[in-house]
Amino acid sequence: MLAAMPAPAWGSIGPALPGPPPTAGQGFPTAPPPGVIPPAGPVGPTASLPTKFAGAGLRSGFVSVRGRELTLAIACKHGGQVSLTASGLGSGVLARGGYACRGGQGSADLSLRPRAARRLAALKSTVARVAFGGGSAERFSITLGARPTIPSDWSNGGMECSFLGPNEPYLVAPNFTVTPPAIIDVRPWVAFYTPANGWRWLGTTGINSSSWYRWSATSAGVATWLTPAGALNPWTWAPIDVRAGQQTYAIAAFEVIYWYAHLRYVWAYAPSHLNATAAGTYCTFR
């Protein structure tokens, strides 16, 4: 049903994967009204990857749990507190802990409540939220599990690393093929990593914030993107400026809602196209 293929063997070079988008599975739009064909809508806005963040970030978004124990790898400037919630495992904070920061890195060892650990063992893998500090805290999503599930990636679309310029990547939405045809809502993201900041998420409306784009998908692809002459112009987000000298890794992710009678939600990464012939996990910007 989905335009996807098995996950590639992730390269040994580069950081661990960033996990799910920051608001994965939340903030859904209302269902499409009957009989309304969505217009093509706007492309993604000109954007740039910020380089300065006040709070801590994660260095990996897929976190293994052994028994009740887990460790969060953190990019930080100073020590602090971290808490973990997961609606699939229970209500409220399920684990809390502190971390020290040395050389820009720290780790927080957390212990899940026994009941939450038992529930996770049954689920095998689930999305959880991590919050650093209190008040206006930095919040991230992670995937928890004994062997956290990495989703298959979209089989086309993704990030063009250098076609527009050496530090000007852009995103192309996968050509979603859907049988039977359905209205889909798609929320695009760029996850980007620097040693100083860990993983951060840029959406089309800013850091940790992205828009849903509504299209009509068929077995032949996204009908909404077809031009009058029959060309398929996929949705793009361009350009995205990356400041040189930050040792930046970037990867695209797309959340999708399939508006069948029973809503279906999926998120997955998309390939990074390094040049005319090679694809990989990340775009890298030195």
Partner 1 sequence: MLSKPAICGAMSTARAISRICRPRYPCAVGLVLVCAVLGTDAGLAQALSGPPGLPGPPPGAGTGFPLPPAPAQAPPPEPSGSPASIPLAGSGPGLLSGSAGLSGRRLKLPIACQARGHASLSLPGVATGTVAQTTYKCAGGRSTVSFSLGKRVAGQITRSGSVLAGVTFKQGAATEHLSVMVGPSPAAPQFWTSVFGLQCGSPGSNQADLLAPNFTVTPATTIDVRPWVAWYTAATGWQWLGTEGPNASRWYRWTGTTNGVAEWQTPSGTVNPWTWGPISVSPGMGVYVIAVLEAVYWYSHPVYVSRYAHSYPSSPYCAYS
Interface with partner 1 (CB under 8 A) = 3, 39-43, 155-157, 160, 163-166, 170, 172, 174-175, 215, 222, 224-236, 238-239, 273, 275-276, 286
Name the minimum Å distance from CB 156 to partner 1.
Answer: 5
User: Looking at beta carbons only, is 54 or 229 nearer to partner 1?
Assistant: 229
| Percent helix, strand and coil across the chain, each to the nearest 5 | 5, 45, 50
User: Looking at beta carbons only, is 99 or 237 nearer to partner 1?
Assistant: 237
Taking CA atoms, 28 is separated from 32, 47, 112, 203, 250, in Å, by: 12, 23, 28, 15, 25
Name the minimum Å distance from CB 173 to partner 1.
Answer: 8
User: Looking at beta carbons only, is 98 or 245 nearer to partner 1?
Assistant: 245
User: Looking at beta carbons only, is 163 or 259 nearer to partner 1?
Assistant: 163
Name the minimum Å distance from CB 229 to partner 1.
Answer: 4
d(CA 184, CA 38): 10
Name the minimum Å distance from CB 224 to partner 1.
Answer: 6
Mind giving me the DSSP string for 125-176?
A: EEEEEEEESSSS-EEEEEEEESSPPPPPEESS-EEESSSS-TT--EEE----
d(CA 167, CA 63): 30
User: Looking at beta carbons only, is 167 or 197 nearer to partner 1?
Assistant: 167
- Spatial CA neighbour of 211 closest among 41, 31, 3, 90: 41
Name the minimum Å distance from CB 132 to partner 1.
Answer: 35
